[in-house]
Amino acid sequence: MTREPSNSGDNKISVAFCCLGNICRSPMAEAVLRHATSEMKLSHLIKEIDSFGTSGFHSGDGPDRRTVQTCRANGVPVNHVSRQVRLSDFERFDYIFAMDRENLEDLKYMQPRGSKSKIMLFGAYCEDARMDKIISDPYYGGPDGFQSSFRQLDHFSRTFLKKLAAGTA
């Protein structure tokens, strides 16, 4: 059972994204949310944005080159070093957004009882009925999968930020 996210009195929240290896989807999500926050002039609402993986396969690596290419092609800077989720992340972040159901279940299993993080699928912020709420892993596919992930992440980020600004996130 998670508690509602707390802002520690500063009215800013912390957000993290999680996928399997932290080289494709979650660093892209981190970059997209950071960019959208700036574009929408909502930086006053978020104190920290980060990402990590449920596995440590790629710890210390940069994002997949296709993630970097897709972000750059869409005008979004990306700069990240992969890492694995830590137990302290469940206290550090108000929201931890999973990319798919497996990541969600892994995070819920790892989450210490009573920790503050609200763990959920980032696709919960989907407002387009034509769009999939699950962000499929594009790792084994081509550039189209990365662009599809980007479109989803941009939509989910902007929806999350609108709701956050309205106090309904």
Any idea which residues carry the catalytic annotation?
A: 19, 25, 137
**Comparing C-alpha atoms, which of 70, 93, 80 is closest to residue 154?**
70
Do residues 49 and 10 lie in contact, with contact meaning Cβ atoms separated by under 8 Å? no
The Cα–Cα gap between 100 and 45 comes to 25
**Cβ atoms within 10 Å of 41's Cβ, excluding its own:** 9
Q: Which residues contact 158 (CB under 8 A, 6 or more apart)?
A: 36, 40
Angle between helices 25-39 and 65-73 (to 10 degrees): 20
CA–CA dist 32, 144 (Å, integer):
17
Q: With beta carbons less than 8 A apart as the criterion, state whether 50 and 128 touch.
A: no
